[in-house]
A and B are shown apart, each in its own frame.
Chain A
Amino acid sequence: MSLPALIAIVLGLSLTVYAIFAGADFGAGILDLSARESPEQRIALAHTIGPLWEANHVWLIFSITITFSAFPTAFAALGVVMLAPLTLAVMAIVVRGVAFGLRAEPGGQARSQTLLSAAFGGASVVAPLLFGASAGALAQVSSSRRVSATPLSVPWTGLFASLVGLLAVALCAQLAASFMTWRLSRTGQSESAERFRRRGLQTGTVVLALGLLALLAGAWKAPALWHRLSTAALPLLVIWLLAMLASLYAFARRRYLLARASTMLVAGAIVWGWLIAQAPHLVGTRLTIHAAAATHAALTAFAIAGGVVLLAVLPAFYLLYVLFGRPTPEIAQ
């Protein structure tokens, strides 16, 4: 395998981890929005993501760094064609992060706390919506086999992109619901777990419906993408559908570990379905993984540095999740 392809796979893995774990953090914000009447749900959500979300967020920075170090011209092209959606997305990320960080009492009814909760929840919807729409639109313009002569423009407000954006929002909520039910059921809070189980069933159904709708819209509006999805990315499509059904079954049967694993698999299948559908193109049909790659010497250095990074970071991540995956003293009481 060539070095640019290897780095592209690492980029894909980094995006997958971001989608799953930061996706669950966004989802916690979305569920927080729907838990206005239930302070204890808000507190449970805040306790779960509190120690973890900053670290999960770094996967985004890591992905950006890989992109501009290894594929500088693709990063530049992305910046030009996606100025509007990415500017709005980063603003949403900032608002939700700061609102969450400053909200001292998740269940508080004081005016300041409810305002911060609204900002946290609202921005948690906007960020995945824009990321999803951007990814959908990018796939739409990057999946053709023919090199287009017209300047690239990305239809991130089109029908297909909008459906993918909504799909991303629902998926984030389902991820959060699956994390919460599993965690709460292990600490003997079956009543709270039950509430999040219902959310998991609701959002899971929405994810299934939106996924099928997005496929229909793709077949209608984006024939090149549909062609790739029904050939190269077909295995991922099948995995998505099976994992989707498994997650709904697991939520219905209160098999929470299975629900968590299958929802994660749903997210992974969507990310990789997208990546394979547009591979080897990064942005548009001109910039392939090889055409956009930095010089070989630079790529070698990044590959070595990336390996060292993961060796240092992954054990620390394990430590973090082990430490806070256990029931917290406050919640257990």
Chain B
Amino acid sequence: MISALGSLPFGATSHLTAGRAQMGTSLSFHLFFAVLGVGLPPMMLAAEGMHLRTGDPVWRALARRWSKVFAILFAVGAASGTIISFELGLLWPRFMAFAGGIIGLPFSLEGAAFFIEAIFVGIYLYGWDRLSPRTHWLSGIPIAIASAASAFFIVTANAWMNVPRGFKIVHGHVTHVNVLAAMFNPAWATETAHMVLGAYLATTFGVAAVYAVGMLRGRRDSYHRKAITVALAAAAILAPMQLAVGDLLGRTVAQHQPATLAAIEGVTHTESGAGLNLGGIELPGHATTFLNIKIPNLLSVLAYDKPNAPVRGLDTFPKADRTPLAWATRLAFIGMVGIGTGLIALGLWYWLRRRRNGPGPEDRFTLLALAGAGPAAFLANELGWLVTEFGRQPWVVYGVFRTSSAITTAPGLSATFTGFTLLYIVLSALTVWAVRRVSTGTPQLLATPTLRVA
């Protein structure tokens, strides 16, 4: 039935494109929920912890409200993560047959972290009235640790795809497997740190945005002020850290993925003392780039610590080994860095204008900027992931295994892609509906601690 569907109305899409599109849709959908799954638990813990310390019921109301939103997001995130674990085998069986025995360790550990997270999510969400306030707060700590650990383990697997280590290929067979060397490949530290910080940063700005919109609609109460303060306090610490980690990750890419670096930085021809391109979008079929400002020698310094170090251009790589999506890689990279810079500037603006122990700036401009910063921060995460995936093409495992060799031989991917796309549209609409239902307005529960989750 599926194969018959595949040949009828969707026949125009190629098999590989359909598979990649389905995986990309699934991952970008899941990434949104994964980011919030990592970022929200520390925010809930911070708010609930402030309630324990100060006794102020506003903090408890915030924590409970966030936990109700978290319950919905966790359900959708667990579901979309399950899709991905299936898709690894359903779409990329040959990749999994090759890589499963090398990179299974972080996936197994992620399974463990997900177990711990799911168990304590049950305890935390359903335990508000069953546990003492202090025990309840403590039961949230494993959630925060396990969700960050999940992100860590999964991203070490992605780092391995970028910088594969810990195995040899002899006569077409994988031998000499060292699962620890595979997991702790040269990119593990910078990539995982970049992802986890990105998740925290997006959540903090996402929370600030929600309450900035509330204030723009006239709800200027302490509930909204407190939420924005917590969020931007965290952002002020995280944003500069993310800048530094991003720089380190750039060096990792420069060292181990020269073709990817060239695509990311828009270096078409080899340059010694390469300048850093700000802007500069390469259009397919055009020799020159648009809207570029070049800062002399800066790229060589950033990538190799030497002002005159040569940076290989994209044209020095065989055509079959260059990403066909260089323009998209570059665009995504510019978007990510641009948004990151903007978020740092906004954090500085907020804290410089905040009076000592007084409220932060609440003018229309600041609130509008905060409202826009939330979605932008999530977009930056999605773009960063696109940089990794587009930039690595045509490889699924850089320099070792091509994406075109990984796709399934089973027919019908156009149909499954269409099916999943429709499913994601429905899930998105349902999630927005459900989150709006539990999170509109200032809660009335400040006096009535009987509301239950889900």
Interface of A toward B, CB cutoff 8 Å: 50-52, 54-55, 57-58, 60-62, 64-66, 68-73, 75-84, 86-87, 90-91, 93-95, 97-98, 100-104, 112, 294-295, 297-298, 301-302, 305-306, 308-309, 312-313, 316-317, 319-320, 323-324, 328-330
A contact face: mostly helix, strand, loop, or mixed: helix
Interchain nearest-CB distance for B89 vs A (Å): 3
Q: Is the CB of A94 within 8 A of B108?
A: no
Contact assessment for B111 and A55 in the assembled complex, using a CB-CB cutoff below 8 Å: no
Instruction: Please report the C-alpha to C-alpha distance between residue A320 and residue B116 in the assembled complex, in whole angstroms.
Output: 10
Q: Which of A66, A83, A320 has the most CB of B within 10 A?
A: A83
Residues of B within 8 A of A316 (CB): 115-116, 119-120, 142
B412 touching A57 by the CB < 8 A rule? no
The verdict on A309 contacting B108 (CB below 8 Å), with A97-B78, A317-B119 known, is yes
Docked CA distance A205–B227 (Å): 56
- A76/B82 in contact, CB under 8 A: no
Find chain B residues with CB under 8 A from A57 CB: 78, 82, 118
Interface check B76, CB cutoff 8 A: yes
What are 11 of the A-B contact pairs (CB < 8 Å)? A51-B122, A80-B410, A84-B412, A101-B454, A297-B179, A302-B179, A305-B108, A313-B116, A316-B119, A316-B142, A324-B126
Does B109 contact A309, Cβ atoms closer than 8 Å?
Answer: yes
Interface SS, B side: helix
Does B440 belong to the interface (CB within 8 Å)? no
Q: Is the C-beta of B88 less than 8 angstroms from some C-beta in chain A?
A: yes
Residues of A within 8 A of B98 (CB): 72
Given contacts A69-B108, A77-B93, A94-B427, whether A298 and B85 have CB atoms under 8 Å apart is: no
Q: Are A79 and B75 in contact (CB under 8 A)?
A: no
> Is B112 interfacial (CB-CB < 8 Å)?
yes
B130 at the interface (CB under 8 A from A): yes
Give the bracket for the number of chain B residues in contact with chain A: 35 or more
Contact A54 B118 (CB under 8 A): yes
Contact, CB under 8 Å: A68 / B112: no
Tell me the complex Cα distance, A317–B83, Å. 24
Contact of B52 with A by CB under 8 A: no
How near does chain A come to B45, taking the closest CB pair, in angstroms?
Answer: 18
Query: Closest CB-CB distance, B401 to chain A, in whole Å?
Result: 13
> Does B97 contact A306, Cβ atoms closer than 8 Å?
no
Q: Which among B100, B412, B427 has the greatest number of chain A C-beta atoms within 10 A?
A: B100
A312 and B121 contact, CB distance less than 8 A: no
A220–B108 alpha-carbon span in the complex (Å): 40
List 9 other contacts, CB 8 Å, given A62-B115, A64-B86: A55-B118, A65-B108, A69-B100, A69-B105, A77-B93, A101-B72, A298-B179, A312-B115, A330-B452
